[in-house]
Structure 1
Amino acid sequence: MQVAHRGHDGREPCDSAGPAKQKQKQVCKHITHAEEMRRKADGVWLSIGTLAQQHLENLYCSTSRHDVQLVDKAGSSWTLNLNFMDLKPSQLYDRVRRLSNSSDSSRNPYFPMEWQVYWEECGEWLVYEEPVRWELLAAFEKGMWNHAFKLRGQLYNVDLKTLTQRNVRTGFTRRILHCPVFRPPWRLAPHLRTGPGTTLSSPSTVPGEDPQDTYWGPYPASWVPKAPVGTMYTLAEVAPAERAYETTCTLFHKTLAEDKVLVLAVYRVRNDYLWQKYCGQKKFMAQSRPRAVRRCLERHLFHGTRASKVQPICEMNFDPRVSGENGEAYGQGSYFAVDASYSHTYAKVDEASLCHMFLAKVLVGRSVRGNPVFRRPPLAHDGCLYDSCTDYAKKPQIFVIFDSCQCYPYFLIRYKLLSEPVAVDS
Structure 2
Amino acid sequence: MGTRENKPVDVVIVGAGLAGLSAALKVKDEGLSYVVLEATERAGGKVHTEISEDGKRFYEQGAQFVNSEMTGIVSLIKESGMELEHTDISEESIVINEKNKRVIELRESEGEKLLDNLSITSDAPLSEVLDQSIDTKWEKRMLKSYIAAETTVNSEHINAKSAGKLISRITTHENELKYQANGPLNNVIAHLEKQLDEAIHYCEPVVSVMRSGGKYEVRTENNNVYTAKAVVLAVPPTVGTRIELDNQLESHFGRALDSYLDGSVIKLTFVYADNFWSHHKVNGKEKKVFGVIYVGNEGVNVMDSSKGEDENRLTMFIGGDKAKDLVNVPPQVRENFALDRLTEVFGDTAEEYKDVEESIWVDSPYYGGGYGAMVHTDGNSDAELVLGKPFEQVVFASTELAPKFPYFMEGAIRSGRQSSERLINDLKR
What TM-score does the superposition give when structure 2 sets the normalisation length? 0.21
Which one has the bigger strand percentage? 1
What TM-score does the superposition give when structure 1 sets the normalisation length? 0.21
Greater RCO, CA 8 A, separation 6+: 2
Which one has the bigger helix percentage? 2
Q: Which has more radius of gyration? A: 1
